[in-house]
Amino acid sequence: MSVPEVVREIITRNRSIYDCMKMDMINYTALAVKIQPEIEKILGNSVNLNTVVVAIKRYADSFEIKEEIKEEPVLRNARLSLTDGIMDIKFSIKDSNEIDPMAILDQFAKITNNYEFFRLSDSFRFLTEDVEDIRQIFRNVSTNDNMFNTGLAKIRILIPTSQNQSAVVSYVAEVLHTNGIELENAFFSQDSITIILHEKDSSRAYDILHSDIMRT
């Protein structure tokens, strides 16, 4: 992950910061100082404060498209998929001394093909079905009590590669926040955004985003 990607992720899942930025009430330098330690923890290396400030400023600039949203639909040509019963599994690099990530991937493939794998600087992340067979894969990890975050769902948003990803992320977060739906996390790739939220909110979130697409 890059600094701009991490900045975007932190802001997207923090409603108070997000709302203040949307209202242009954020001091970029003060926010950079606040989130710099978290960014360095995620990336596993030191990050220049000015780099963080620039990333925040560029993300804030994407909010300026909100006046154009009605004329140029942000979710035009987007495709949605909803999966509930999701478990978020996270284990640190140090845990890889007890279990081989490649061996885990092999075991996952034998159980399900419905999973996503993310390699972060200090940890590994799986988004997968919450089934006992998968839990058993991690039974020998000493810290496995804190590995599982359950009761979740994911909405994957496929977007054209030509689409401005920052604009899409800003817009989706704004729409869901406006409707009182909190994000647990968000993951980004070149052509998609995967948002993680509580299962109880997932159907409504999907309907809201799908209705938006249908209006385009």
Same domain, 136 and 207: yes
Same domain, 115 and 192: yes
Name the residue type at position 74: V
- Determine the Cα–Cα distance for residues 108 and 92; give it in Å rounded to an integer: 18
SS3 148: strand
Q: Of 16, 40, 68, which marks where a domain is finished?
A: 68
Could you tell me the two tokens for 100? 């081989």
Number of domains in the chain: 2
The whole domain housing 83 covers 72-216
Same domain, 122 and 20: no
We report the CATH number of the domain holding residue 158 as: 3.30.2130.10
- Determine the Cα–Cα distance for residues 186 and 169; give it in Å rounded to an integer: 9
Same domain, 60 and 85: no
Same domain, 62 and 96: no
Q: What is the pLDDT of residues 12-29, one digit of tens each?
A: 778 778 878 877 788 999
pLDDT at 102: 80
The Cα-based distances of 55 to 39, 108, 156, 164, 184 in angstroms read 12, 36, 24, 15, 22
Q: What is the pLDDT of residues 108-159, one digit of tens each?
A: 888 888 888 877 767 778 888 888 898 888 887 766 667 889 999 999 999 8
pLDDT at 200: 94
- Determine the Cα–Cα distance for residues 173 and 180; give it in Å rounded to an integer: 11
pLDDT at 143: 66
Same domain, 25 and 84: no
Q: What is the DSSP letter of 122?
A: S
Same domain, 88 and 17: no
pLDDT at 70: 47
Does the predicted model carry a pTM greater than 0.85? no
Same domain, 122 and 46: no
The Cα-based distances of 66 to 28, 77, 125, 168 in angstroms read 20, 18, 33, 11
Q: Of 68, 96, 125, which marks where a domain is finished?
A: 68
